[in-house]
């Protein structure tokens, strides 16, 4: 099973992805995006650098390059070997951040992203919903996206809501307010009811 966790910065994705991977057992691979391969980790450093200004389309292409490498070299082989994959972000992030918030167009980015991942969408995507002000308060503000502030996070949250409607067959919205344990229980229930 391939499961991704999505949400605005500070929604708890990384924490919940780790907890979910642990709950699914030793036959589970935890990955993060961008990252997961040497090339993708180098691209991550570039994308996170708050001192850089990157054109939105160039930003999308950098994420796409990292994602293509991760899919072909890590995700697809793991799934073919029968391993569960839990992703801390995946393709929906580009649709939300670059398509929605950067105004490249969700349908345009969705089409490009589908080509990049060769149609390999998660079986279940857990969208952690949290108020953008709360999320930004939780985030450490050190990367380029977090440092852009509340307006970006609001635009991303709005785009995620659109994705949840468009892809309602695989996207499950989970309330990310409350304790880590409470949210974890909601995530587990969402995965069980979708799987």
Residue-wise pLDDT for 51-64, tens only, equals 999 999 999 999 99
Q: What is the pLDDT of residue 136?
A: 74
Neighbour order of strands in the sheet with 171-175:
28-32, 84-88, 2-6, 124-129, 171-175
Q: Which helix (H) or strand (E) holds 68?
A: helix 56-70
Taking all residues of the chain, what is their mean pLDDT, rounded to a whole number? Answer: 94
Of the pLDDT bands very low, low, confident and very high (cuts 50, 70, 90), residue 117 is: very high
Q: What is the pLDDT of residue 191?
A: 96
Of the pLDDT bands very low, low, confident and very high (cuts 50, 70, 90), residue 85 is: very high
> Which of 16-20, 78-82, 135-139 is least confident?
135-139
Residue 149 has pLDDT above 80, yes or no: no
Q: Of the candidates 124, 31, 32, 123, which has an alpha carbon nearest to the alpha carbon of residue 78? A: 31
For 151, left (φ over 0), alpha (ψ -120 to 50), or beta? Answer: alpha
The mean pLDDT of 67-85, rounded to a whole number, is 98
Of the pLDDT bands very low, low, confident and very high (cuts 50, 70, 90), residue 137 is: confident
The mean pLDDT of 127-155, rounded to a whole number, is 81
Of the pLDDT bands very low, low, confident and very high (cuts 50, 70, 90), residue 195 is: low
Residue 1 has pLDDT above 70, yes or no: yes
Q: Of the candidates 134, 101, 124, 108, which has an alpha carbon nearest to the alpha carbon of residue 191? A: 124
């Amino acid at each position: 099973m391939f499961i991704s966790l999505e949400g605005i910065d500070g929604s708890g994705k990384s924490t919940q992805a780790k907890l979910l991977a642990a709950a699914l057992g030793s036959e589970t691979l935890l990955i993060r995006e961008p990252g997961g391969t040497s090339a993708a980790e180098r691209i991550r450093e570039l994308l996170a650098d708050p001192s850089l200004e990157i054109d939105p389309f160039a930003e999308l292409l950098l994420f796409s390059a990292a994602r293509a490498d991760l899919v072909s070299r890590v995700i697809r082989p793991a799934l073919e070997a029968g391993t569960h994959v839990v992703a801390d972000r995946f393709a929906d992030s580009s649709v939300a951040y670059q398509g929605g918030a950067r105004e490249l167009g969700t349908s345009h980015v969705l089409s490009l992203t589908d080509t990049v991942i060769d149609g390999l969408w998660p079986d279940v995507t857990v969208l952690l919903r949290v108020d953008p002000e709360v999320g930004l308060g939780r985030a450490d503000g050190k990367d380029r996206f977090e440092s852009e502030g509340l307006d970006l996070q609001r635009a991303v949250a709005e785009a995620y809501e659109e994705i949840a409607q468009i892809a309602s067959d695989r996207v499950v919205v989970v309330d990310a307010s409350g304790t880590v344990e409470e949210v974890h229980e909601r995530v587990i229930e969402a995965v069980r009811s979708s799987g």
